[in-house]
Amino acid sequence: MIKVRTAGTVGNRPAYLALGVDLEGRKQMLGVWLGDGGEGAKFWLTVLTELRARGAQDVLLCCCDGLKGLPESIEATWPQASVPTCVVHLIRASLRYCSWKDRKQVARDLTPIYTAINQEAPKRPWTPSSVSTATTTPPSSPSGAAPGSGSPPSWPTQR
């Protein structure tokens, strides 16, 4: 948020920056856009169209935060672009499913997954040794296992 004077009054407005990395690995500031706080996929489609009109003819990778409609806007502008969700946003979304007191340890346990050098490296069974069982045990199952399963829960090794 930055302070902007509009019609004689000063107010906070978000400033959105677009950064690019060219084929030689140099970072380029592509532009700065001031929003009004209600930016959606339509706003981003105009930004992407402007970037294309200013010379960004091809995009290999465009990382975004999961805003509905944004991947479609990117694909409409650059059909061959890959559109992954930002790792920071994925981690924040996954931490919503654990208790507040366990978040720090769960985030630490996620580190080997998002820093892995390939897809095979983090595919190991997860053990709940670092997270307290008091917060992960459902009230209907005192052992932490799914009712009738006879084994403790574990993270899936593949998606």
SS (H, E, C) 73-88: HHHHHCCCCECCECHH
CA 8 remoteness from chain centre: 37
At residue 38, does pLDDT exceed 60? yes
Q: How confident is the model at residue 127 (pLDDT cuts 50, 70, 90)?
A: low
Residue 158 has what pLDDT?
45
Residue 143 has what pLDDT?
44
At residue 100, does pLDDT exceed 70? yes
Whats the size of the chain, residue-wise? 159
Instruction: Determine the Cα–Cα distance for residues 69 and 45; give it in Å rounded to an integer.
Output: 9
Report which residue type is found at 15: A
118, two tokens: 């390939």
Q: How confident is the model at residue 129 (pLDDT cuts 50, 70, 90)?
A: low
